[in-house]
Amino acid sequence: MYKEKKVEKLFYSIGEVAAMFDVNTSLIRFWEKEFDIIKPQKNKKGNRLFTQKDIDNFHLIFHYVKERGMTLKGAKAKLKENKEETTQDFEIIKNLKSIRNMLEEIKNNLED
């Protein structure tokens, strides 16, 4: 089955990033200060412009802090000590969620 690939943007606003994670923009700004892996560019107005890499890093932070209940200190340590392993684990989880969504979509189509 052909499915058109979503067009990925080069930059996302702070509002878009906050909406992706269902959090307030203040949390996005806070994590930006706390975690040195988040480095948004800023335009002439000073608005933050987040890249896909920033968003991937937010996913990692979100996973540790919100989903696994780690402290910020614990999440920072985990990211520093095992960045490669953490990224691989996260990619596996992301792929499994994607497969799950696809299977649920197929199941729903079969039920119709």
Give residue-wise pLDDT tens across range 64-80: 898 889 999 998 888 88
Which residues sit opposite 49 in a β-bridge?
Answer: 41
Is 50 part of a structural domain of the chain?
Answer: yes
Residue 31 domain boundaries: 14-81
Say what the pTM is.
Answer: 0.67
Q: What span, in angstroms and rounded, lies between the C-alpha atoms of 20 and 36?
A: 20
Is 44 part of a structural domain of the chain?
Answer: yes
Is 101 part of a structural domain of the chain?
Answer: no
40 within 8 A of 51, measured Cβ to Cβ: yes
Is 94 part of a structural domain of the chain?
Answer: no
The percent of residues in the chain predicted with pLDDT above 70, rounded, is 87
The domain tally of the chain equals 1
Residue 30 pLDDT: 96
Is 1 part of a structural domain of the chain?
Answer: no
Q: What span, in angstroms and rounded, lies between the C-alpha atoms of 47 and 14?
A: 8
Is 104 part of a structural domain of the chain?
Answer: no
CATH of the domain at 45: 1.10.1660.10
Is 23 part of a structural domain of the chain?
Answer: yes
Strands 41-42 and 48-49, by their bridges, are antiparallel
